[in-house]
């Protein structure tokens, strides 16, 4: 069976770097994967990515030594199981505020006896280069399941969430976390001690539980800051931001050069 190198590295305590994919295009996904990211996340919650597009993107990412992750649209059975059946290396599930919410994720994301995920589909054996039964027997260990911490309530419950068997770790959604405390993002970053305390406490809880803490950083400087806090599954911006940012710089530089 194809090794999930990202899962192995996380279990070894290493830090892995990835980025968000918002465009529903397999070629763009493969281009991002070619750059050397450890993982890329296909965003089906906020991105306009249909299931068939996500399947093509997952396949495209796997042409490189890069792990495809998926964020399903909701913490709901049909969303989670269909995302996993694409053959991804892991999922990041939104809308998890309590241990009960986390147990719902495990029910849908893990095969029996840990959960109630249904066996079936052809893409998973193909993606993991194995037969169906081997995938079913090993997926509970090899597929990474992270749940999002996006509210102050979720932070208060983070220890109980991390204690749920079958949850590999938590992932902070920094924008929604700011919204939950009535603050603007990214203005709150390193300016609001209450907010920064929440961010630090999630990393500390994950470290104490010997599980993974993830974070979506805006840039390399923010990635370094959260890495120092103990976050190890770190996203750095998105395909949309990279495209628009580079295009805007090129446009501004060209206009400035022509005016000289």
Contact assessment for residue 69 and residue 94, using Cβ atoms and an 8 Å cutoff: no
In eight-state DSSP terms, residue 19 is E
Q: How many domains does the chain have?
A: 1
What pLDDT shows up at residue 259?
A: 82
Average model confidence (pLDDT) for the chain?
A: 97
Cβ contacts of residue 226 below 8 Å, gap of 6+?
Answer: 199, 203, 215, 217, 234
Residues marked active site are found at 46
Report the Cα 146 to chain-centroid distance in Å: 7
**149-195 pLDDT tens trace:** 999 999 999 999 999 999 999 999 999 999 999 999 999 999 999 99
pLDDT at 47 over 90: no
10 SS3 class: helix
Looking at residue 127, its pLDDT comes to 95
Residue 34 predicted with pLDDT over 80: yes
Domain residues for the domain of 142 are 5-259
Tell me, what CATH number does 152's domain have? 3.20.20.60
């Amino acid at each position: 069976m194809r090794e999930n190198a990202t899962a192995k590295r996380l279990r070894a305590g290493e830090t892995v770097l990835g980025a968000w994919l918002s465009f529903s295009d397999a070629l763009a996904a493969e281009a991002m994967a070619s750059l050397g990211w450890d993982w890329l996340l296909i965003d089906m919650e906020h991105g306009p990515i249909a299931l068939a597009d996500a399947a093509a993107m997952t396949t495209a990412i796997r042409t490189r030594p890069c792990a495809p992750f998926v964020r399903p649209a909701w913490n709901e059975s049909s969303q989670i199981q269909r995302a996993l059946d694409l053959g991804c290396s892991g999922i990041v599930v939104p809308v998890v505020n309590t241990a009960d919410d986390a147990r719902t994720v495990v029910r849908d994301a893990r095969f029996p006896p840990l959960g109630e995920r249904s066996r079936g589909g052809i893409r998973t054996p193909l993606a993991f280069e194995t037969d169906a039964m081997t995938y079913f027997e090993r997926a509970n260990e090899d597929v990474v399941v992270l749940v999002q911490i996006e509210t102050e309530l979720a932070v208060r419950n983070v220890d109980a969430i991390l204690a749920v068997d079958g949850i590999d770790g938590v992932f902070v959604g920094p924008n929604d976390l700011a919204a939950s405390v009535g603050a603007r993002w990214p203005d709150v970053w390193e300016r609001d001690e209450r907010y920064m305390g929440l961010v630090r406490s999630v990393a500390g809880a994950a470290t104490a539980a010997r599980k993974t803490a993830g974070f979506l950083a805006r840039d390399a400087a923010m990635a370094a800051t959260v890495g120092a806090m103990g976050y190890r599954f770190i996203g750095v911006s998105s395909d949309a931001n990279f495209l628009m940012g580079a295009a805007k710089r090129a446009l501004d530089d060209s206009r400035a050069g022509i005016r000289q």
